């Protein structure tokens, strides 16, 4: 497997952290150039603080963090309850041991991409505000982007409205700008995320194991599972993890090429992704994956980080 140069744009967020852990467990596959933050699950400064605390706990203060947009392009931020008051409830984190870089997220990504000798992949785990601003302000980056793998949207479901997923709903204008940028996009919509889960046994395993990353995962996933437990579920979708899983194991996913347009507004339609399978479309939508395989790889990855 070719080692990818990778940027992660995120709003941590429990599932964002799981995606970051999966990335850190595979240095043979990823050279992580940095992580950028954006308003989403919680306010931008809060999710940045969550990220800095997590990386401090993990001893990875070497990873550059850059702060991004404090709101969507046009709409106001709407923090989510699912991640608790801090946006990352369930674990007692240390104070952040380092600061974000002085450049903002858009400048940081532009410099990382333009200074790279190889094309750069972007994993987008949050509203697409930073990415849209990057592509609009610095179109020269487009030919140096390998692909943008987005957790967002849905083919015919929703978690905000009947047909709208949170990351796209939060900034539909940015999402549309990214979809029409011409850059190769891979969408991990709600449908495929359900193949990327943790279950009660995983959570118990991590809680009982007294090692550092296992404790972090046990605490965070136990909190995150609360929402599903109240509804009688025994496995819990770790949405953002689908992006990194796809980059690591593309052969375990099924999808189709086509186009995607985003509905900007409407009481029932804001953030709806209109995904149309058609030949020659530059947007690849993932639909299915090998759930048991991916679950086993995630357990393994957390063990690897603690080895």
Residue 159: which of ligand BDR, Ca ion, none does it interact with, CB under 5 to 8 A by kind? ligand BDR
Q: Which is nearer to Ca ion, 127 or 144 (CB)?
A: 127
Among positions 151, 185, 221, 263, the unique one binding ligand BDR when judged by CB under 6 A: 151
Among positions 206, 224, 239, 253, the unique one binding ligand BDR when judged by CB under 6 A: 239
The reply on whether position 41 binds ligand BDR by CB under 6 A is yes
Place of tokens 């048991």: 292
Judged by CB under 5 A, the chain residues 9 through 28 that form the site for Ca ion are 11, 13, 16
Judged by CB under 6 A, the chain residues 1 through 20 that form the site for ligand BDR are 13, 15-16
Distance between CA atoms of 153 and 51, rounded to whole angstroms?
Answer: 24
* Among the residue ranges 45-53, 191-199, 234-242, 266-274, the one whose residues contact Ca ion (CB under 5 A): 234-242
Cα 91 to chain centroid, rounded: 20
Among positions 86, 159, 211, 259, the unique one binding ligand BDR when judged by CB under 6 A: 159
Please tell me the count of residues contacting ligand BDR according to CB under 6 A. 15
Distance between CA atoms of 79 and 96, rounded to whole angstroms?
Answer: 22
First to last CA, the chain: 23
Backbone angles phi, psi at 107, to 5 degrees: -60, -45
The reply on whether position 298 binds ligand BDR by CB under 6 A is no
The reply on whether position 38 binds Ca ion by CB under 5 A is no
Q: Which is nearer to ligand BDR, 13 or 172 (CB)?
A: 13
Q: Which is nearer to ligand BDR, 24 or 193 (CB)?
A: 193
Residue 166: which of Ca ion, ligand BDR, none does it interact with, CB under 5 to 8 A by kind? ligand BDR
Among positions 240, 241, 243, 305, the unique one binding ligand BDR when judged by CB under 6 A: 240
The reply on whether position 86 binds ligand BDR by CB under 6 A is no
Minimal distance in Å, beta carbon 193 to Ca ion? 11
Minimal distance in Å, beta carbon 160 to ligand BDR? 8
Residue 80: which of ligand BDR, Ca ion, none does it interact with, CB under 5 to 8 A by kind? ligand BDR
Give me the residues that bind Ca ion (CB under 5 A), please.
11, 13, 16, 125-126, 240
- Which residue ranges make up the site for ligand BDR (CB under 6 A)? 13, 15-16, 41, 80, 82, 125-126, 151, 159, 165-167, 239-240
């Amino acid at each position: 497997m070719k080692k990818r140069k990778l940027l992660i744009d995120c709003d941590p967020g429990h599932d964002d952290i799981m995606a970051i852990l999966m990335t850190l467990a595979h240095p043979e596959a990823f050279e992580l150039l940095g992580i950028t933050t954006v308003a989403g699950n919680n306010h931008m400064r809060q999710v940045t603080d969550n990220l800095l605390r997590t990386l401090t706990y993990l001893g990875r203060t070497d990873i550059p963090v850059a702060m991004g947009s404090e709101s969507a392009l046009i709409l106001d931020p709407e923090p989510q309850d699912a991640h608790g008051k801090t946006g990352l409830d369930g674990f007692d984190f240390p104070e952040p041991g380092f600061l974000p870089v002085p450049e903002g997220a858009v400048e940081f990504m532009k410099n990382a991409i333009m200074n790279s000798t190889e094309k750069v992949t972007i994993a987008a785990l949050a509203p697409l505000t930073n990415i849209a601003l990057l592509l609009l302000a610095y179109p020269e980056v487009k030919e140096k982007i390998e692909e943008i793998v987005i957790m967002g949207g849905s083919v015919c479901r929703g978690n905000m409205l009947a047909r709208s997923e949170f990351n796209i709903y939060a900034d539909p204008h940015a999402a549309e700008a990214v979809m029409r940028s011409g850059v190769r996009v891979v969408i991990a919509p709600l449908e495929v995320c359900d193949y990327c889960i943790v279950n009660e046994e995983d959570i118990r395993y991590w809680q009982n194991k007294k090692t550092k990353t296992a404790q972090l995962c046990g605490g965070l996933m136990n909190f995150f599972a609360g929402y599903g437990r109240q509804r009688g579920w025994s496995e819990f979708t770790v949405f953002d993890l689908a992006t990194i899983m796809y980059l690591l194991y593309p052969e375990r996913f099924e999808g189709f090429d086509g186009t995607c347009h985003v509905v900007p507004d409407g009481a029932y339609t804001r953030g709806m992704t209109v995904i149309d399978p058609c030949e020659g479309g530059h947007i690849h939508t993932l639909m299915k994956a090998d759930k048991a395989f991916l679950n086993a790889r995630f357990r393994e990855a957390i063990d690897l980080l603690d080895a």
